[in-house]
């Protein structure tokens, strides 16, 4: 009995029940460790079973049109809100080159007779940028103002002047207070003194000493201000302050609205419209499997797209971008995997109630960690505006070796004839003013 078909034009790959049953990870010994078979979608990004081979000719064109629709959906924006946030209009060319977006990988399509299951990996850079701006410009300023007021009141209580004044007020007898002040006024005065901060006292002292200079400055203002009184001048000053603070609050709520729009793209209320468009393309039901990545370098498509956007925006900083990318990518050392292999002596089939899911299932999954990446940029990438010659730059970290085949002596599967099963490969191209360039990206995991 055949369990799975994978078709691409004239190529047919068969996976029998016998081959799939050997994927159970028995970890008693290195030699007994089973061979890992990757999913069928990893081979050609499309897994399909059909009786009519002529239907395969339509798959490449439909996948390209489907990915255009999906990426255009996740790049939607609200021009009404974003127009209020900036003075100048952002051109569409710069918007496409902006890194403030939702990065979407190439889809993995699994076809059946009545539906298509689309698996998409995405990295939400837009949401992270909005959260950073809100924390940086708004939330921190509000919390800092509260903390400063608390610190100033605590430091003021330690002043000798403050303590001596309260002692003197408490030492006044009740008879004298009745003749001079009421007891209520005495209590309220102590409360007000406790609430006054150190900086406000200094400001009041300066205002008291310089009050004659302030009045002279207000009287010697231009002729347009001669008829305005002091109260009108103060009210105009506070109106300007209120306008600035109101503008900050408006921007804060605009960012909150943009975060809500970003979040709503992954809800079914808006995904159903994308689903209807794709169903008209495939004439089948469509299901989505969305995977949110915590790091951008976990997928080679997203990693290559991020660096191509930066280089097309400013090719003169290419080396800087590549070095920064190398520092950001965190890889796992191969010694850890070899140590785990030697230390594990238990059989996964003997699972007790005490053993957790994380210990036996999640820890034995393949390709959980990134062990290396490699980026190649070739093309017209000179700093000058004359494309006299082409450049080629290479950056890598770690290695692309498969630990099963290179260190453990186990056989591994090859994808597309020559690509390793633990490596993800992406090839992209873009254009600048002086010419075009291409980028190849590899990400390996174990």
Residue 124, classed as helix, strand or coil, is strand
Res 20: pLDDT: 37
* 327 shares a domain with 237: no
* 248 shares a domain with 153: yes
* 300 shares a domain with 250: no
CA distance linking residue 123 with residue 14, whole number of Å: 34
Res 41: pLDDT: 80
Q: Exposed, middle or buried by CB within 10 Å (0-12, 13-18, 19+), for 344? A: middle
Interior angle at CA 325, CA 323 and CA 329, nearest 5: 120
pLDDT tens profile 434-445? 889 999 999 998
Record the tokens describing residue 145, joined without a space. Answer: 């103002």
What's the total number of domains in the chain? 2
* 302 shares a domain with 254: no
Final residue in a domain of this structure, among 232, 258, 284: 258
First to last CA, the chain: 31
Record the tokens describing residue 402, joined without a space. Answer: 């498969």
- Tell me, yes or no, whether 32 lies in a domain: no
Res 231: pLDDT: 66
Placement of tokens 């003197």 in the chain: 168
- Phi, psi of 93, rounded to the nearest 5 degrees: -65, -40
pLDDT tens profile 58-112? 888 999 999 999 999 999 999 889 888 888 888 888 888 999 999 999 999 999 8
pTM of the prediction? Answer: 0.69
Res 261: pLDDT: 93
Residue 376: domain span: 296-446
Look at residue 31 and tell me whether its pLDDT is greater than 60. Answer: no
- Tell me, yes or no, whether 424 lies in a domain: yes
Residue 42's pLDDT band, with cuts at 50, 70 and 90, is confident
* 320 shares a domain with 201: no
* 309 shares a domain with 247: no
- Tell me, yes or no, whether 113 lies in a domain: no
345 secondary structure, DSSP code: -
Q: Which helix (H) or strand (E) holds 290?
A: strand 285-292
Greater pLDDT, 41 or 312 = 312
Give the torsion sign (CA, 185, 191, 193, 195): negative
Lowest average pLDDT, out of 125-139, 169-183, 193-207, 370-384, goes to 169-183
Residue 156, classed as helix, strand or coil, is helix
CA distance linking residue 219 with residue 229, whole number of Å: 9
- Tell me, yes or no, whether 391 lies in a domain: yes
* 205 shares a domain with 346: no
- Tell me, yes or no, whether 107 lies in a domain: no
* 440 shares a domain with 300: yes
Look at residue 271 and tell me whether its pLDDT is greater than 80. Answer: yes
Query: For 259-277, what is the mean pLDDT?
Result: 93
* 167 shares a domain with 221: yes
pLDDT tens profile 407-429? 888 888 888 778 888 899 999 99
Lowest average pLDDT, out of 143-157, 192-206, 328-342, goes to 143-157
* 253 shares a domain with 153: yes
Is-contact 439 304, C-beta < 8 A?
Answer: yes
Placement of tokens 């009786």 in the chain: 51
């Amino acid at each position: 009995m055949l369990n799975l078909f994978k078709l691409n034009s004239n190529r047919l790959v068969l996976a029998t029940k016998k081959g799939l049953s050997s994927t159970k990870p028995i970890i008693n010994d290195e030699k007994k460790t089973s061979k890992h078979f990757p999913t069928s979608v990893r081979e050609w990004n499309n897994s399909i079973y059909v009786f009519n081979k002529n239907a395969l000719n339509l798959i490449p064109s439909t996948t390209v049109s489907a990915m255009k629709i999906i990426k255009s959906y996740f790049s939607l924006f609200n021009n009404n809100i974003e127009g209020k946030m900036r003075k100048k209009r952002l051109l569409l060319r710069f918007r496409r080159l902006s890194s403030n977006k939702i990065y979407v990988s190439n889809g993995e399509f699994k076809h059946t007779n009545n539906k298509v299951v689309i698996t998409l990996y995405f990295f939400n850079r837009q949401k992270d940028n909005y959260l950073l701006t809100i924390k940086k410009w708004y939330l921190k300023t509000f919390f800092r103002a509260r903390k400063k007021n608390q610190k100033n009141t605590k430091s003021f209580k330690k002043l000798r002047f403050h303590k001596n004044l309260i002692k003197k007020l408490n030492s006044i007898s009740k008879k004298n207070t009745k003749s001079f002040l009421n007891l209520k006024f005495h209590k309220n005065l102590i409360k007000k003194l406790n609430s006054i901060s150190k900086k406000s006292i200094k400001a009041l002292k300066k205002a008291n000493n310089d009050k004659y200079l302030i009045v002279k400055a207000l009287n010697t203002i231009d002729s347009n201000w001669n008829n305005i009184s002091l109260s009108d001048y103060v009210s105009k000053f506070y109106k300007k302050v209120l306008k600035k603070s109101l503008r900050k609050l408006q921007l804060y709520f605009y960012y909150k609205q943009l975060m809500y729009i970003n979040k709503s793209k992954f809800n079914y209320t808006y995904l159903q419209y994308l689903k209807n468009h794709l169903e008209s393309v495939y004439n089948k039901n469509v299901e989505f499997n969305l995977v949110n990545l915590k790091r951008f370098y976990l997928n080679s498509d997203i990693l290559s797209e991020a660096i191509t956007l930066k280089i097309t925006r400013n090719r003169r900083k290419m080396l800087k971008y590549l070095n920064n990318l190398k520092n950001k990518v965190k890889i796992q050392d191969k010694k850890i995997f070899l140590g785990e292999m030697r230390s594990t002596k238990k059989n996964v089939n003997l699972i007790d109630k005490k053993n957790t899911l994380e210990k036996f299932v999640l820890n034995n999954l393949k390709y959980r960690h990134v062990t290396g990446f490699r980026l190649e940029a070739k093309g017209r990438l000179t700093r000058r505006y004359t494309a006299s010659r082409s450049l080629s730059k290479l950056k890598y970290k770690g290695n692309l070796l498969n630990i099963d085949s290179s260190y453990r002596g186990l056989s591994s599967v090859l994808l597309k004839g020559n690509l390793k099963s633990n490596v993800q490969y992406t090839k992209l191209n873009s254009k600048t003013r002086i010419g075009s360039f291409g980028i190849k990206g590899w990400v390996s995991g174990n």
